[in-house]
Amino acid sequence: MRSTSAVPELPASTEVLIVGAGPAGLTLAASLRQLGVDFVLIDRNTSVQPGSKAAAVQPRTLEYLERIGVSDTLVATGVRSPGFSLHDRERTLLRATFAELDTPFPYVSLVSQQTTEEHLLRRLLELGGTVHRDHRFIGFSTDFPGVSVTVAGPDGALQAISARYLVGCDGVRSAVRTAAGIGFPGQAHEQLFTIADVRLSAAGQELVAHDTTFFLSGAGMLLFSPLAGEQYRVVSPAPPGQTEPTPSDVQRLLTERGPQATVTEVIRASTYRVQERVAEQFRNGPVLLVGDAAHTHSPAGAQGMNTGIQDAGNLAWKLHAVLTGAAGDELLDSYHAERHPVAAEMVAFTALFAKMASVRDPVAARLRNGVLAAAASAPGATDWIATKLSELDVSYANGPACGLRVGDRVPPTVVPGRDLRWTLAVPETEDLPQQRRNLGVRHVPDLDEALLVRPDGYLFACGKPTELLDHLPTS
């Protein structure tokens, strides 16, 4: 989908300059547009990039995307995956179902990253926003309290644009991160992975269930997942030096390691290497990092794009609150404080999972599979996995869990949220305060006290309704 036609010239200044119109940048832009924040979004590419990459949109991501009007159409396009399985090619070792999760989206939506980006872009355009394509971030200098950014336009001519905040959504090789001098410590692995989207002649029993399945056999790990359009995703370690896997390479992987199915067409296939890195700071003064610019890890577990979209949801309302004067600039420090630990934990979790899945020694592999099968029957184990993968476990609370704590996610099944307004949920025994422009007010059954819910769906405060309104960081 191109969006270069009728795009206005870059203005001389903006409140927020967003670099990168991938899933993170598009989510941030659509959110800011919905909130009425002035921004400019640039991308060096001339269109949404073709390809699949992130194929799984997790329940927590769908909850946020519902607030910006994207989930319904996205879910309608994708395939619903009801669960996640580990299999040893003879039996299911472990199955975690999403069906019991406390969310309006008790499934993973399997849809290509290109489609997700197209839906985000469509929503941004509907809201009256735009992407300045063919514009490349070159560098910036401090222009207190903001920045002066140099951008190269389609003809290569340089232009300066001043911005109060600069947000790098420019991916793993982020030029914004480099220009801001923010370190990106971590490691790059030598192991090469094949990723292929294919069509099959016939699917085995396991495929009918539409689970995303890790096959863990002595021959090696293989991830197998249905996609929209009767396609399937295959991911498996590749031999060193392989660059473009052929159809017979993909078939061999399935035959050796996966379900007994015949590949009839390879739609796209490539290889990639995993890096595990988290930026030292997600904020450095007027510069903020979102998405892969801030963190990258193994695609095992399908979390990268999802984490980036939720970064954007965390940042959008904070930028709005600060730029409207409802909160001080220090609110933006909480973006790093909340999202850095989430990313660090995600990197550790996916690294552990990838290490466990790639055990090749036959004795160790048998032992691993036995442990996994035993773990599956431990009380709460598969529920824990489903909650973790769906990212519904993300919380910014510090204290021990006992009911809802400030910083916990408030399930939309308890307090629905279909836009980016704050929500005041009031016990049915109390009177409702008046609605305000940026605040939805509603009665909610079975509440002991009122809950003030942030635009990204986390608990901001609880107590008496009138007291909560005094703390509302919005106009």
Ligand X SMILES: Cc1cc2nc3c(=O)[nH]c(=O)nc-3n(C[C@H](O)[C@H](O)[C@H](O)COP(=O)(O)OP(=O)(O)OC[C@H]3O[C@@H](n4cnc5c(N)ncnc54)[C@H](O)[C@@H]3O)c2cc1C
Nearer to ligand X, 232 or 460 (CB): 232
Burial of 377 (0-12, 13-18, 19+ CB in 10 A): exposed
Return the residue of 4, 7, 13, 44 that touches ligand X, per CB under 6 A. Answer: 44
Strand partners, 148: 141, 162
Nearer to ligand X, 211 or 292 (CB): 292
What is the footprint of ligand X within residues 88-117 (CB under 6 A)? 113
Rounded least distance, CB 107 to ligand X, Å? 15
| Cis-peptide, bond into residue 259, ω within 30° of zero | no
Do 317 and 69 meet the contact criterion of CB atoms below 8 Å apart?
Answer: no
Stretch that binds ligand X, among 42-50, 124-132, 142-150, 377-385 (CB under 6 A): 42-50
Q: Give yes or no for residue 180 binding ligand X (CB under 6 A).
A: no
Q: Give yes or no for residue 299 binding ligand X (CB under 6 A).
A: yes
Nearer to ligand X, 292 or 465 (CB): 292
Return the residue of 171, 258, 286, 417 that touches ligand X, per CB under 6 A. Answer: 171
Alpha helices in 19-70 (DSSP H): 23-35, 59-67
Q: Give yes or no for residue 306 binding ligand X (CB under 6 A).
A: yes
Q: Give yes or no for residue 404 binding ligand X (CB under 6 A).
A: no
Rounded least distance, CB 181 to ligand X, Å? 16
Distance of CA 138 to the CA centre of its chain: 26
Nearer to ligand X, 110 or 439 (CB): 110
Do 430 and 450 meet the contact criterion of CB atoms below 8 Å apart?
Answer: yes
Instruction: Please state, in angstroms and rounded to a whole number, the distance separating the CA atoms of residues 372 and 378.
Output: 10
Burial per residue of 389-413, b for 16 or more beta-carbon CB atoms within 10 angstroms, e otherwise: bbbbebbbeeeeeeebebbbbbbbe
Return the residue of 64, 137, 215, 232 that touches ligand X, per CB under 6 A. Answer: 137
Instruction: Please state, in angstroms and rounded to a whole number, the distance separating the CA atoms of residues 356 and 351.
Output: 9
Count interface residues toward ligand X (CB under 6 A). Answer: 33
Nearer to ligand X, 298 or 474 (CB): 298
Q: Which residues contact 380 (CB under 8 A, 6 or more apart)?
A: none
Q: Give yes or no for residue 24 binding ligand X (CB under 6 A).
A: yes
Q: Give yes or no for residue 79 binding ligand X (CB under 6 A).
A: no
Return the residue of 161, 175, 182, 223 that touches ligand X, per CB under 6 A. Answer: 175
Instruction: Please state, in angstroms and rounded to a whole number, the distance separating the CA atoms of residues 431 and 416.
Output: 19
What is the footprint of ligand X within residues 265-294 (CB under 6 A)? 272, 291-292
First to last CA, the chain: 36
Distance of CA 30 to the CA centre of its chain: 15
Q: Give yes or no for residue 43 binding ligand X (CB under 6 A).
A: yes
What is the footprint of ligand X within residues 411-440 (CB under 6 A)? none
Q: Give yes or no for residue 302 binding ligand X (CB under 6 A).
A: yes
Q: Give yes or no for residue 42 binding ligand X (CB under 6 A).
A: yes
Do 217 and 262 meet the contact criterion of CB atoms below 8 Å apart?
Answer: no
Dihedral sign, Cα of residue 465, residue 470, residue 474, residue 475: positive
Rounded least distance, CB 432 to ligand X, Å? 39
Instruction: Please state, in angstroms and rounded to a whole number, the distance separating the CA atoms of residues 241 and 264.
Output: 25
Stretch that binds ligand X, among 166-174, 247-255, 333-341, 457-465 (CB under 6 A): 166-174
Rounded least distance, CB 369 to ligand X, Å? 24
Return the residue of 28, 29, 41, 305 that touches ligand X, per CB under 6 A. Answer: 305
Which amino acid does the sequence have at 299? P
Q: Which residues contact 437 (CB under 8 A, 6 or more apart)?
A: 475
Return the residue of 23, 69, 146, 245 that touches ligand X, per CB under 6 A. Answer: 23
Site for ligand X, rule CB under 6 A: 19-25, 42-45, 53-56, 113, 136-137, 169-171, 175, 195, 272, 291-292, 299, 302-306, 308
